Amino acid sequence: MSPINEATKPHVVLLPYPSQGHVTPMMSLAKLLHSRGFHITFVNTEFNHKRLIRSKGPDSVKGLPDFRFATIPDRMPPSDENATQDITLLCDTTRKMCLVQFKEFLTKLNISFGEVPPVTCVIFYGVMTFGIKAAQDLGIPGVTFWTASVCAFVG
């Protein structure tokens, strides 16, 4: 496979649901795409980003020039650092508040052209429907990534 030109390198933004069982497979997809020459921006909520740093250390999110980590506010109230978030509240907050945050993030990312390639695709976890709305509003192709098993999906 020939190397991809930096100026035309595809730039994928990945947006997992903020729960470990969803972040882990999305991270695997991000690494696979990166190994194929894609520029990656992996977006976590602030809460999950802090948990990642606590568990793996600050070097775990330094990334590479073409594999970056970013955050969007989750607007969740502060909680015990070792506790998981209130899932019901998390679902409600992401549904109601993350569209504006994510859309602003994508806009800023595309304005920083030269520093990073323009966003060519958004891959979002299935229930993060604001991801497709933000992508559509900005004219960026969006793809749903579903991490559930086939059995769960059929159910």
pLDDT at 2: 53
Tell me the C-alpha distance between 145 and 32, whole Å. 14
In 3D, which of 42, 8, 1, 39 has the Cα closest to residue 22? Answer: 42
pLDDT (average), residues 15-28:
82
pLDDT per residue as tens digits for the range 81-117:
555 666 666 666 666 667 888 899 999 988 876 778 8
Q: What is the mean pLDDT of the chain?
A: 79
Whether 13 and 121 have beta carbons less than 8 Å apart is answered as: yes
DSSP code, position 148: S
- Residue 65's region, left for phi above 0, alpha for psi from -120 to 50, else beta, is alpha
* CA distances from residue 46 to 49, 59, 73, 78, 82 in whole angstroms, order as listed: 5, 17, 5, 11, 15
- Among 64, 67, 18, 25, residue whose Cα is nearest residue 42: 67
Please tell me whether the overall predicted TM-score, pTM, comes out greater than 0.85 for this model. Answer: no
